[in-house]
Structure formats: C-alpha cells, structure tokens
Amino acid sequence: MPIRCKAAVLRKSGAARPFAQSMPLSIEEIELEDPHPSDVVVKIAGAGLCHSDLSVINGDRPRPVPMVMGHEGSGEVVEVGAAVTDVKVGDHIIFQFSASCGRCRRCLEGRPQVCERAAATKGAGDLMSGGSRIKSASGERVSHHSGVSCMAEYAVADRGSIVVVDKSLPLADAALFGCAVMTGVGAVINTARILPGDSVAIIGLGGVGLNGILGAKLGGADKIIAIDLEDSKLGLARQLGATHTVNARDADAVAQVREISNGGVDYAIDLAGTIPAMNTAYAITRYGGSVVTAGLSPSTAQFSFNQGDLVSQEKSIRGSYMGSCVPVRDIPRFISLYQQGRLPVDRLIDGRVGFDGLNAGFDKLQDVKTVRQIFVPGA
C-alpha cells in the first residue's frame, strides 16, 4: 500500500534570506509509491543538515524541483522489494548518498562511490532502477535528493543506497556516518592515505571538516593544522585533536601554516568547498605534497593554478567524493571506532530540529553558527 507522510519539499532554489521568512522548504503531505523489486522503505530516525543540502536550497548547485530534501540519514526498514533478500524488516540502516550498481567500470574497479549509473540517476532526481517514487498530494512528480530524500517521515530508496548497522547504535545520531563521517574521515584516510608522522592541514571546520581532524588524528599525523574563519570552531578542533590552529582571516595565514609545518604541509585537505579555501590549500602545500578537496563549491566556480609550479614542485590535486569510501566496508569500521571512543563524532552534534525548525536550521548553517544539526521527524 502506498504511504502518505510528511516531508520537507523544496519547490524553488535560491530563495531570499532569511529562510525562516522565505520558507524555501515547504512541509507537505506526500505519497510514496510501493517499492520496486530492488527498493526498500525506511522509517526515518534522523537526518543531518548538511552543506550539500544547503547548496541545493540556496541555488549553488541546482537540482530538479520539486524535491524532497535530505541525503545524510538513518532509519528502520519497514518494507522490502521482492528482489531484496539480504535486508529484512526491522533492520537499522544508514543511507549512503551514492548508490552503486556493481556492474559499471568504476564499481568493478572497487570505486562504487563514483558509480557512473548512480551519477546519471541522481542528477535526474531518480532512483537507481529509474523514476521517482514520490508524488505530491495533487499527484505531481517529486524528485529524490541523491537517491535518498530523508527529510521526511518515510523514504523509498534503492537497496544499494543503504548499509545495515548494529542496532546498539543511537539511530538518529547515526545519520552522521552517512555523509559527514565518510566524507571527512575518508578524505584523509582513503583519498590522501596519510601516514604516521605526516603534516596535515584541514581547511573548513564544519561537520565534515571536524571529521577530517578526527581522521588525521586516527591516521597518526604529527602536525594537524586546523584552518577556519571562526575562533569557536578552531577551539573545538583543538579539543578533537588539532595540534595547531590558524584563523583564515589573518593576513599572514599562509605564512603561519608554512612556518608551523617547516615549509608547507604534506597534505592540505579542503573541506570548505570554496575557491579561497582551495587557493589556501595550494599555497600551503610543500614540494611533493598533495591537495585533496572534498568540498563542493558552486557549480559555476573555477579553480586555477600555475601549471609550471605544479610540475616543478611535483604537487598533486585530487578530488575526493564521499571520502573515497566503499560504504559497506567503511561505515561499519567507522562505527566500530566510534564505539571504541576513538572517533567521537557525537561531539559534533549541536542541535536537533523537527519539521518546523528546518528552514531556520539552514539559516544557522548558512551563517556558520552550527556544526551539525539533526532533523528528527517527531521533534
């Protein structure tokens, strides 16, 4: 039977600020179609308010609307499609925001996070098997956000978009492992592949960036330099393992980092998603070092560098999508590290909101007044 439930629907990107007044997210009743054979139906426990959501809401990265928002989430399986045999009703799951088909070239080489088929369907607002499962109360087609759309009471997603997790984990807070943890920790551990003793700079200290700090500590970095515009976030970074902090507003910020790291860092990790952050990352990287970026800037933004400098200093620039994670491998191991107390991601949660608080919550995120808020449908 189709499910009727509440959801946060974006009908137009680029609304005027503050969002608490312009209300770009409309809280509506939607209808979820019955699952296709490869789908699952999930009762949502929690969803993180992330910059990837914000970039769609504010128009930086346009997507097909109307769209139910939310890509970082968790919940309980309440129904499975006829072809799903390895997931059962009652399982606790975390969403991953890039489903994998298991058959394209990228999946076959062990890089499911950049599945070619998933990229095409996500861009169209569809699920992996094609089409949307969401309708408005009037019967209008509504798009899925990253194949998830978890800012709702229920969601229909492809089997490839979920990872079954330990039921002892606090389920609402577990949403963070679906994006912030994978992207931040993964960028350092999987993409950069830092080694003990390396020097690492993390630029941008939101939920993803602070997970980058945790990842650098896990990896045994000697110097962990946290860079941000806000002193409060620099203080939190110190508590989580940063050995040094630099305020990016300082005119000599680049010189400070180069002095701390004796000429530049081995790895500069951009987790801010801005071109100034990328410029800083490139400027603070030592000879033979690497820039890794997992931040998504506006879709029209361009980053440039001196090609001769790139060659003569043998630097490298690498993109990191979803922290180069294989979610079915990495989400459980990150959870294990959390349960051991070695990855205290719960310290990043600084607020919980219900449907009525979503628009104001994204104002706080845009104004850099929060690290990670969790949407809880019943809050």
Cβ contact 279:306 at 8 Å:
no
d(CA 376, CA 42): 14
Nearest to 77 by CA among 189, 18, 163: 163
Which structural domains are found in the chain, ordered by start? 3-178+344-375 (3.90.180.10), 184-321 (3.40.50.720)
**What is the reported pTM?**
0.96
Backbone dihedral region for residue 2 (phi beyond 0: left; psi -120 to 50: alpha; all else: beta)? beta
Averaged over successive runs of 10 residues, the pLDDT of the chain (379 residues) comes to 94 97 98 97 98 96 96 98 97 95 91 91 93 97 98 97 96 97 98 98 97 98 97 97 98 98 98 96 98 93 94 97 96 97 96 98 96 95
Q: Hunting for tokens 């072809």 — which residue is that?
A: 83
Tokens, residue 31? 């209808």
Buried b (16+ CB within 10 A) or exposed e, 9-30: bbeebebeeebeeeebbebbeb
Query: What DSSP string describes 134-154?
Result: EEETTS-EEEESTTT--SBSE
pLDDT value of residue 379: 84
Going from the C-alpha of 123 to that of each of 50, 106, 159, 161, 283, the distances in angstroms are 18, 17, 18, 15, 33
Structure tokens belonging to residue 84:
């799903």
pLDDT at site 167 = 95
| Residue the block writes with tokens 């194949």 | 147
* Beta strand segments in the chain, E: 3-10, 25-32, 39-48, 67-68, 73-80, 92-95, 134-136, 141-144, 154-158, 162-165, 199-203, 223-228, 244-247, 265-270, 285-293, 316-319, 349-353, 372-375
Q: What is the pLDDT of residue 101?
A: 87
Peptide bond into 66 cis (omega under 30): yes
Tokens 């294990």 locate to 336
**Which DSSP category does 15 fall into?**
P
In terms of C-beta density within 10 A (0-12 exposed, 13-18 middle, 19 or more buried), how is residue 80 classed? buried
